[in-house]
Amino acid sequence: MRTNRNYIAASIIGAVLVAALSAAGMLLITSGRITFPLGQGQSQSSTAATPTPTRRQSAIQGTIVRIRYIGSTFTIQRDDTGANVVISVTEATQFTGRVRAFSDLQTGMHASIQGQTRSDGSMIASVVQVLGS
């Protein structure tokens, strides 16, 4: 009986970890393929035969509306469309303008983001520039 409880507890913890890592952008599950993003343009994958999803370079501007310190992501509301975009930062992300690090970001700041757009519309930032005085 104790073994069943341990198995159930481990299964629940595993499911919660997968969900949390996926939501934080630290784990991508696409077409049965599990990917762990490591940095700009790099990933470690559980399958080598599946091609990496196409990413394109892009730049957007908008207002920071949410910051998630776990997973190092923030959400920006685009100036041009009003849509919300989740931005992931890595160790390689450069911060310029009014901030020097992810921890300096605040909601309400206006920013310009350059990086790679993922197939789900989120971005991996290569440069985050906070605009204004």
> Quick one: 56-131 is in which CATH superfamily?
Nucleic acid-binding proteins (2.40.50.140)
Does residue 12 sit in helix, strand or coil?
helix
pTM of the model: 0.59
Distance (Å, whole) CA 98 – CA 42: 28
Sequence ranges of the domains in the chain? 2-45, 56-131
Between 120 and 1, the more confident residue is: 120
Q: Are 33 and 49 in contact (CB under 8 A)?
A: no
CB count, 10 Å around CB of 22?
A: 14
pLDDT at 49: 44
Residue 21 has pLDDT above 70, yes or no: no
Residue 118 has pLDDT above 80, yes or no: yes
Q: What is the pLDDT of residues 29-81, one digit of tens each?
A: 544 455 555 444 444 444 444 444 556 889 999 999 999 998 999 999 999 99
Query: How many helices (H) and strands (E) are present in the chain, helices listed first?
Result: 1, 9
